Amino acid sequence: MWVFLSLLIALSGGALSLDKLNMCMDGKHHKVEPGREGDLYKQCSPWRDNACCTANTSTEAHNDNSYLYNFNWDHCGAMSPKCKNHFIQDTCFYECSPHLGPWIQKVDQSWRRERIVNVPLCMEDCHDWWEDCKNDTTCKTDWHTGWDWSSGNNKCPEGSKCSKWTDVFPTPKSMCEQIWSNSYLYTTDSKTSGRCMQLWFTGPNPNKKVAEYYLNNAQQHQGFNLTVLLCLAVALFSIRMY
Ligand SMILES: *[C@@H]1O[C@H](CO)[C@@H](O)[C@H](O)[C@H]1NC(C)=O
Ligand SMILES: *[C@@H]1O[C@H](CO)[C@@H](O)[C@H](O)[C@H]1NC(C)=O
Ligand SMILES: *[C@@H]1O[C@H](CO)[C@@H](O)[C@H](O)[C@H]1NC(C)=O
């Protein structure tokens, strides 16, 4: 009976992990299933072998005030091109990545049904992003909510003021975690660690292995809990038998 139960648990765990390793979130523009997209544009092209974004989304990700989210990067004057490149990359990662399964959660929002929470970012990607935006200005720490959308694009809400980036985000960690309301988790892991997700990469997508690592670790916990529960159940059952 134990062997049978263990097998069952292992099998159900395995089936779950297969889905979560290669899937698209239920977002505003995501494809239903990941797959090849030969024509992905510029900064999104690293995902072309397996992507949750269409070619159209990848092109629009590079445009100011694109129809994707009508988001205005220049809400406190023109954003520097260096800084903007990171936001484009962030958009590519969000729209195209098929390996975010372990961090996808349901949300009750008008514009999407799922979001990502606490995706562990590689330190280099977070630091470079912050360094390249250091001389820019913004008026908000959380860019997900609280804008004035009355014009169709986001404007700084009344009462807010444009401040130096470093006053709004004193550290790379504060920026990476707060800007998209904890979609990202700051880590001190480097790109070679295999324990953090990379926004910038070339060649085969290194993030699949990372997702696999986190998925397997989470599962060990689940398996252990289930084992504990089953142990208890069997113990209780045998006590009643006597
Ligand atoms: C992408 O699709 C939208 C909506 O169908 C369209 O308005 C837009 O022009 C397209 N963009 C590109 C770059 O093809
Ligand atoms: C920010 O400004 C300083 C001083 O003007 C300059 O040395 C530095 O290169 C700038 N950094 C970026 C990322 O533009
Ligand atoms: C039980 O599972 C939860 C998550 O579902 C995990 O946080 C916790 O560490 C697990 N407990 C044990 C003893 O593994």
Q: How far is the CA of 225 from the centre of ligand 3 (A)?
A: 6
Proportion of the chain above pLDDT 90, given as a percent: 79
Average pLDDT over residues 96-122: 93
In the prediction, which pLDDT does 24 show?
96
Cβ of 134 closer than 6 Å to ligand 2, yes or no, is yes
Residue 76, exposed/middle/buried by CB under 10 A (0-12, 13-18, 19+)? buried
Q: Give the pLDDT score at 229.
A: 78
Centre of ligand 1 to C-alpha 156, Å, is 27
**Are β-strands 137-138 and 119-121 bridged in parallel, bridged antiparallel, or unpaired?**
unpaired
Nearest 5 degrees, angle CA 51-CA 55-CA 57?
90
CA 21 to ligand 1 center in whole angstroms? 29
**Ligand 2 in reach of 82 Cβ (< 6 A):** yes
pLDDT attached to residue 106: 92
Q: Which residue has the higher pLDDT, 68 or 4?
A: 68
The answer to whether the CB of 39 is under 6 A from ligand 1 is: no
Candidate from 79, 86, 133, 134 with most ligand 2 atoms within 8 A of CB, to mutate:
134
Threshold 0.95, pTM exceeds: no
59 lines ligand 1 (CB under 6 A): yes
25-29, 40-44, 234-238: segment of lowest average pLDDT: 234-238
What's residue 104's pLDDT?
A: 93
pLDDT in tens, 121-170: 999 999 999 999 999 999 999 999 999 999 999 999 999 999 999 999 99
The finding on whether 225 has its CB within 6 A of some atom of ligand 3 is yes
Q: Dump pLDDT digits (tens) for 178-235.
A: 999 999 999 999 999 999 999 999 999 999 999 999 998 875 555 566 777 788 888 8
pLDDT of residue 72: 96
Residue 12 in this model has a pLDDT that exceeds 70: no
| Helix ranges (DSSP H) in 106-206 | 123-133, 165-168, 172-178
Q: So what's the pLDDT on residue 2?
A: 66
